[in-house]
Structure 1
């Protein structure tokens, strides 16, 4: 497998330094990508780089995942409008450990000569004094060189300016590359297209400090077909951590992709081969309403991030809302998973004490909660057979609900018609 060609046909390649492909074709090559630990989880915006490392390893090369325990304390200014909040060491260490665990599920750390390795730049920066750094490293890169970077120019022309702290970031990232080149024979740095300037600074530092050669490759920044930012929903980022974004929400994110986005995403975010993807394209184009591409995409990536069992739960969760899976399914789920299914659905709270005593249907749905705006409307729709609690139609407006009806000892699920859900939480 040719790594660069793989990125090309998948639509991932953006920039590549001359002679990089020839160097990769000589044999096993070590390369790295950096991840800033600004949160205790990666999100789908990081997946392009994770997949780049994955393809790199599958092509027989040795991937390094650098977690920026040191640079995360500063924040990369590249094409950002303002400075990041600085994180304390304890928070960063926690984030680093969580991210390490997530990356380990994508890369093979026990595959012989091309085993993946994880490194933390805090390990080589923690004892590096400021005076030593500016004397031994800073003297090799001129201010003119640093000022010429587009990412720096943009910030200097903006309203917020650029702090000295951020200005030094490209030196720190450049030194990361130099350190890995010198100590790990790492000759390639990869990243998103917004990282090109920082990566090239690293190759320049290797040339000036070590008299060596190194290479650079960047991938496309992923956007939706309509030009909006990829990886964001109304509720925020889509995280790889199942506590932050439940597997059901994660699955739905991919399933809800537009046709145009799904054609792109299935190439970028899955390991399906070209022949399989082209066959799926043909099948999808013949019957777009079946959403063949979206289902294949959502299945592949949900299984790789969360596992087969979580994928099956996500499917059953969808069937629960839109199919024939019974209410007992909710007993298999954690609180976070239940709330994940009903994200965006109106939530109401009732007193568990009152529920133990019993509340009639009309009072429950139009008195204790606002499922209906009035008791009269609630009675009318109940009498018409259009209201259910826990997927059982309410027979009369006077039906009584009590604590025995609670799912997981905590929830009631109300429905108006087939598609309008409401989650009632007993507290």
Structure 2
């Protein structure tokens, strides 16, 4: 891309690797130069926490605010009742209103770590699309909004086409989702002057829909910007680890496990991840990425510290690093490891080591735990586990369990 941005925001997006595409670079750049631009990203409330896969666009909102603009986090209290079909093979499970509200509460705790909310010109806004979607009159909506959408064009979008090409069912409920998302952008522009929608590259069609609808209904010019699909250097989707999703809420994933996720980054990804997930200067990211041999591990520790500091705070980052050094360099136990607490009554007849590996989050199932033991991948107190039938009693506790070289948990008896 040869475009040379004038605004700080687009410059940051380009040099740090956030930018996949934009509907109109020049016009958006001019708007960003002219004043504080409100920009939003939408989040459906499908879980009680966001995960690392969301972190790229959360950082994008943070940079929007840091460069003098106004981020909007739009919670999908309305659209979650429908479910985004984009690039899914089946329909999402439908959630009731209470579950949606509970999930929104959990997700909001993460945004507060990265953004400053308030009433100032570039303070962030937390909004919920249930504000305008819950009260829609169906016939009015069809007449006023639905008439602007071509079914032929909607069928051509890759997110829909891929489902139909595989002859997988796409319900009318899901088909409405892209209309509702387009309507979100219209309402945000009408109510809050929002000029920009951002999202992953898989949202391009939905974003363009919203721009077209707003132009037709309000005759306003608004813009879209997308991020690239983020995968690791070995082709895996960002946000998953051997133990499952890397959650951002501390009650679903400890700060130590979060730190360890970043410490385990492959060498080839360090520079790219430093630019996206930390605020270190770009030239420093490039310097760290160029380290070779064992020195690249220093860059990984910096990545882990910086990412953990943003989410969990400086103390949590320092404690996680100290725990890692205690566990890996000194062979100790480390006070900040993920911990499974057992009640005395659970241990009357003993608990199987297989069950403990699962409950400690080191294996997803008993079958996986047994395979881990059979392949010499499990250890107890740093000694290889060879007996899948081993029973643990209260006299054996506390113990440290390990899966591979980098995943550990403590098991101890309740006080």
CA pair 128-313 structure 1, distance change in 2 beyond 3 A: same
Moved more, 45-54 or 124-133: 124-133
Report the alpha carbon displacement of residue 412 of structure 1 after superposing the two structures with TM.
3.5
1:73 is aligned to 2:60? no
Q: Name 1:209's counterpart in structure 2.
A: 217
Are the counterparts in 2 of residues 390 and 413 from structure 1 also a CA contact under 8 Å? yes
- Count residues in correspondence: 369
CA pair 421-95 structure 1, distance change in 2 beyond 3 A: closer
Q: Does the residue aligned with 1:315 lie in a helix, a strand or coil?
A: helix
Match for 1:318 among 289, 307, 324? Answer: 324
CA pair 414-6 structure 1, distance change in 2 beyond 3 A: closer
Moved more, 220-229 or 152-161: 152-161
Q: Name 1:307's counterpart in structure 2.
A: 313
Q: Name 1:297's counterpart in structure 2.
A: 303
Q: Name 2:339's counterpart in structure 1.
A: 338
Q: Name 2:48's counterpart in structure 1.
A: 40
Give me the whole-angstrom Cα distance separating, in 2, the residues matched to 1:420 and 1:134.
Answer: 53
CA pair 351-96 structure 1, distance change in 2 beyond 3 A: closer
Give me the whole-angstrom Cα distance separating, in 2, the residues matched to 1:264 and 1:189.
Answer: 24
CA pair 414-92 structure 1, distance change in 2 beyond 3 A: closer
1:370-422 CA-to-partner distances (Å, cap 9, x unmatched) read xxxxxxxxxxxxxxxxxx9989xxxxxxxxxx97x88xxx623489xx99989
Report the alpha carbon displacement of residue 211 of structure 1 after superposing the two structures with TM.
1.4
Report the alpha carbon displacement of residue 156 of structure 1 after superposing the two structures with TM.
1.5
Match for 2:270 among 246, 259, 262? Answer: 262
Q: Does the residue aligned with 1:218 lie in a helix, a strand or coil?
A: strand
Are the counterparts in 2 of residues 196 and 218 from structure 1 also a CA contact under 8 Å? yes
1:74-93 CA-to-partner distances (Å, cap 9, x unmatched) read 11111222211111111001
TM-score (norm 1): 0.78
TM-score (norm 2): 0.81
1:96-141 CA-to-partner distances (Å, cap 9, x unmatched) read 1111121111011148211110100011111112222212211122
Question: For 1:16-415, what aligned pairs fall within 5 Å after superposition?
Answer: 16-18=22-24, 19-110=27-118, 112-282=120-290, 284-285=291-292, 287-324=293-330, 330=335, 337-339=338-340, 411-413=398-400
For structure 2, list consecutive stretches of 5 or more residues without a partner in the other structure: 1-6, 358-378, 383-392
1:260-306 CA-to-partner distances (Å, cap 9, x unmatched) read 11111111111111132223234x23x44451221111100111111
1:5 is aligned to 2:11? yes
CA pair 221-139 structure 1, distance change in 2 beyond 3 A: same
For structure 1, list consecutive stretches of 5 or more residues without a partner in the other structure: 341-346, 356-363, 370-387, 392-401
Give me the whole-angstrom Cα distance separating, in 2, the residues matched to 1:268 and 1:414.
Answer: 33
1:177-231 CA-to-partner distances (Å, cap 9, x unmatched) read 0000011010111100000000000001101111111111001110011112111
Report the alpha carbon displacement of residue 2 of structure 1 after superposing the two structures with TM.
1.2
Are the counterparts in 1 of residues 48 and 102 from structure 2 also a CA contact under 8 Å? yes
Are the counterparts in 2 of residues 247 and 306 from structure 1 also a CA contact under 8 Å? yes
Give me the whole-angstrom Cα distance separating, in 2, the residues matched to 1:308 and 1:45.
Answer: 22
Report the alpha carbon displacement of residue 352 of structure 1 after superposing the two structures with TM.
5.3
CA pair 411-111 structure 1, distance change in 2 beyond 3 A: farther
CA pair 296-128 structure 1, distance change in 2 beyond 3 A: same
Give me the whole-angstrom Cα distance separating, in 2, the residues matched to 1:103 and 1:172.
Answer: 23
